[in-house]
Amino acid sequence: MTRILFVCMGNICRSPMAEGVFRTLAERSGLSTAIEVDSAGTHASHEGELPDQRARRVATSRGYNLSALRARRVKEQDFSRFDLIVAMDRQNLDYLRRCCQADYQSKLHLFLEFADGLALDEVLDPYYGGTEGFEKVLDLCEIAAQGLLAAISSPGYEFKAGA
């Protein structure tokens, strides 16, 4: 089983959207029993909350269900439990690097590393903007999730140290 953790700051926008998209793609590909997916935040200010209503609304409009997700903070044991820890932006990646033991550093990546052909390397936080920001985040999540699923489905693929 491959275990993947998506991480943003509050775990109410980007990382739950990434989790929802990736989980749905894995299910549609028949890989849901081979892949475990979760999301978390680097900060605990929204712990226990549902994803942001704008994130849920945009996700639902494209067929992704985020209603079972609840915000949580990254825990020390996440670094050993998950095979891949995917940050939405450099700020959260840097936070993870500071918290992570040296043995697990190679598990840390930016999500958009898996999005071929994009000039971007970060999924920016839409929280303080309007619905269009959430639409853009979902666009990026769909592209990167497809790339990530293709990567982990490739025979003999091994994750290399992140950016």
- At 155, the pLDDT band (50, 70, 90 cuts) reads confident
Measured between alpha carbons, how far is residue 76 from residues 19, 32, 82, 99, 121 in Å? 20, 25, 11, 8, 26
pTM, full prediction: 0.95
Q: Which domain holds residue 42?
A: 2-153
- The predicted pLDDT at position 158 comes to 64
In this predicted model, what pLDDT tens digit does every residue of 97-123 receive, in sequence order?
Answer: 999 999 999 999 999 999 998 999 999
CATH code at 102? 3.40.50.2300
Angstrom distance (rounded) from CA 48 to CA 116 = 34
Rounded to an integer, the average pLDDT of 121-142 is: 97
* Position 118 in a domain: yes
- At 159, the pLDDT band (50, 70, 90 cuts) reads low
Task: Respond yes or no: is residue 14 known to be catalytic.
Answer: yes
Task: Respond yes or no: is residue 141 known to be catalytic.
Answer: no
Average predicted confidence (pLDDT) for the chain: 94
How many domains in the chain? 1
Task: Respond yes or no: is residue 62 known to be catalytic.
Answer: no
* Position 65 in a domain: yes
- The predicted pLDDT at position 162 comes to 43
State the catalytic residue, choosing from 13, 14, 38, 89: 14
State the catalytic residue, choosing from 8, 13, 100, 141: 8
- Give yes or no for a contact between 153 and 31, defined as CB atoms under 8 angstroms apart: yes
* Position 87 in a domain: yes
